[in-house]
Amino acid sequence: MLPSQVSLVIAGGGPAGFMAAITAAEARLASGVPGAVLVLEATPEPLHKVLISGGGRCNVTHACWDPLALVGHYPRGGKALRGPFSRFATAESVAWFERRGLTLVQEADGRLFPSSQRSSSVVETLRREASRAGVLLLTGEALQAASALPAGGFQLRLRSGAQVRTDQLLLATGSHPSGHRLAAALGHTVVPPVPSLFTLRLVDHPLVDLAGVVMDPAGLELTTAGTPPRRHRQSGPLLITHWGLSGPTVLRLTAFAARDLKQAGYRGELKVDWSGGRSQPQLQQLFAELRRDQARKQLTNARPWPELSRRLWLHLLDRLGIDGELRWADLGRRPQEALIEALRASRYAVAGRGPFGEEFVTAGGVALGEVNLATMESSRQPGLYLAGEILDVDGVTGGFNFQHCWSSGWLAGQAIAAAGPNANGG
């Protein structure tokens, strides 16, 4: 039976919603203060995003232990997160899960996964702890409308038509438009969402025959079309795909350039440094050594350095019309200059976004200036809290978006419990 009166209703059964529900319910149990916590999840399966994330393994967070360094991984909201992360960040998340029987293991790139390597372990932990704390979970039911009551609290109308009254309301609906609509109806400004963390398509895809090649590191400089043009730079692992370019460095680049790319219609020029950051004088010296030490070898049989993909090297030779059977000793000045330029600054026209997003992340949401980030309570509506991706915060790939959900959910849960179930006159 759905109760007509509850202390706290959480709209959204995702990572932020569950963290807030467990935190608030556990704190109330510990203090002996009564008050039911109800989580509404519109889909039949709560925590679905957790279940499918990380290829079914769930990248819970990232081993970035310094809060000041951690905020650098958030294209939107980074500076504002310094306070929240000083209270609950990576170390606190790891400890939180370990106290509840879920051990995280670190991979070489810093990502933290459950030791079972199964995202279902994370889901099972959250659901078990919510049940243990007495959280009520209602699936297949969504919050349709919410109105603030004059004496405090909220009157809620659910999708089924049921009416529920609550003292406190937390919106943790992720980037779904329904959450933005509810927040706007309660007085909030919503920054229009745009896609973030996506791959790039190239005009006529000149690298299509190199699909599968990985270069690490590759330097990227994106200049967006439009007026004025905007420049963004990143460096790291780059993957050539059948449709364009992907890999961690492309996802990070598009995350930071998300709004500029949207404004430019996802068009622009991408300059790629295949040389691993080598300067022009360094490459000139390297080529001089090759002409001396590999003089009798053909260009096709002696790459400038071992880590340079042979397929990419042959592609560059062909693109520049340089005969690969030419010996290094016979390489002229102009072909050498052309090769150095191609290695340091190959240019490609960007045609748009690739076919797949990474973890369905968007940039946009409730404006951060309208939320007290120490408590996640709305500054526009007392008793209303917001956590997770409904806020105008987004991180790059690698567990950072989940970390924001754990942090904001925990802070909201703590504040809700401290405020008490009748804090708003309910």
- For 79, other C-beta atoms within 10 Å of its C-beta total 11
Does the bond joining 217 to the residue before it have cis omega, within 30 degrees of 0? Answer: yes
DSSP state of 207: T
C-beta separation of 278 from 217 below 8 A: no
Cα(424)–Cα(384) distance, rounded to whole angstroms? 10
Which whole-number Å values give the CA distances from 255 to 42, 245, 369, in the listed order?
Answer: 28, 14, 21
* Exposure string for 262-283, b = 16+ CB within 10 A, e = fewer: bebebebbbbbbbbbebeeeeb
β-pair partners for 357: 198
Backbone angles phi, psi at 395, to 5 degrees: -115, 170
Helix (H) or strand (E) holding 168: strand 163-171
Contact 67, 82 (CB under 8 A): yes
Q: How crowded is the C-beta side of 187, counted as CA atoms within 13 Å?
A: 13
Residues in the chain: 426
CB-count burial class (<10 Å; 0-12, 13-18, 19+) for 332: exposed
Locate 340 and state its tokens. Answer: 């150095």
The pLDDT value recorded for residue 359 is: 44
Structure tokens at 37: 């916590």
Report the C-alpha gap between 310 and 260 in whole angstroms. Answer: 35
| pLDDT confidence of residue 256 | 96
pLDDT of residue 34: 67
Alpha-carbon span 377 to 223, nearest angstrom: 38
Residue 424's pLDDT is: 53
Cross-strand bridge partners of residue 394: 76
* pLDDT in the model for residue 425: 44
**Could you give the CA distance from residue 12 to residue 3 in angstroms, rounded to a whole number?**
18
pLDDT value, residue 3: 85
Question: For the whole model, what pTM was predicted?
Answer: 0.91
Name residues whose C-beta falls within 8 Å of residue 420's C-beta, 6 or more positions apart in sequence.
33, 35
For residue 357, what pLDDT is reported?
55
pLDDT tens for the chain, 426 residues long, are: 688 899 999 999 999 999 999 999 999 888 876 679 999 999 999 999 999 998 999 999 999 999 999 999 999 999 999 999 999 999 999 999 999 999 999 999 999 999 999 999 999 999 999 999 999 999 999 999 999 999 999 999 999 999 999 999 999 999 999 999 999 999 999 999 999 999 999 999 999 999 999 999 999 999 999 889 999 999 999 999 999 999 999 999 999 999 999 999 999 999 999 999 999 999 999 999 999 999 999 999 999 999 999 999 999 999 999 999 999 999 999 999 999 999 999 999 999 999 865 546 889 999 999 999 999 999 999 999 999 999 999 999 999 999 999 999 999 999 999 997 665 544
Strand-strand pairing, 5-11 and 163-171: parallel
Q: What are phi and psi of 220, to 5 degrees?
A: -120, 135
Tell me which DSSP letter residue 56 carries. Answer: G
Burial class (CB in 10 A: 0-12, 13-18, 19+), 231: middle
In the prediction, which pLDDT does 423 show? 57
Question: Could you tell me which residues come within 8 angstroms of residue 132 by beta carbon, excluding any fewer than 6 positions away?
Answer: none
Domain 5-194+359-419 has CATH 3.50.50.60: yes
Burial class (CB in 10 A: 0-12, 13-18, 19+), 361: buried
DSSP 3-state assignment of 17?
A: helix
Helix segments in 174-309, DSSP class H: 177-185, 248-256, 258-263, 280-293
Angle of the 280-293 helix axis to the 333-345 helix axis, nearest 10: 130
SS3 266: coil
Asked whether the beta carbons of 405 and 389 are under 8 A apart, the reply is yes
pLDDT at position 226: 82
Tell me the C-alpha distance between 326 and 341, whole Å.
19
Nearest-CA neighbor of 342 among 306, 318, 307? 318
The pLDDT value given to residue 333: 96
Burial of 300 (0-12, 13-18, 19+ CB in 10 A): middle
pLDDT for residue 361: 82
Q: What tokens does 392 get?
A: 């105008």
Domain ranges of the chain: 5-194+359-419, 200-357
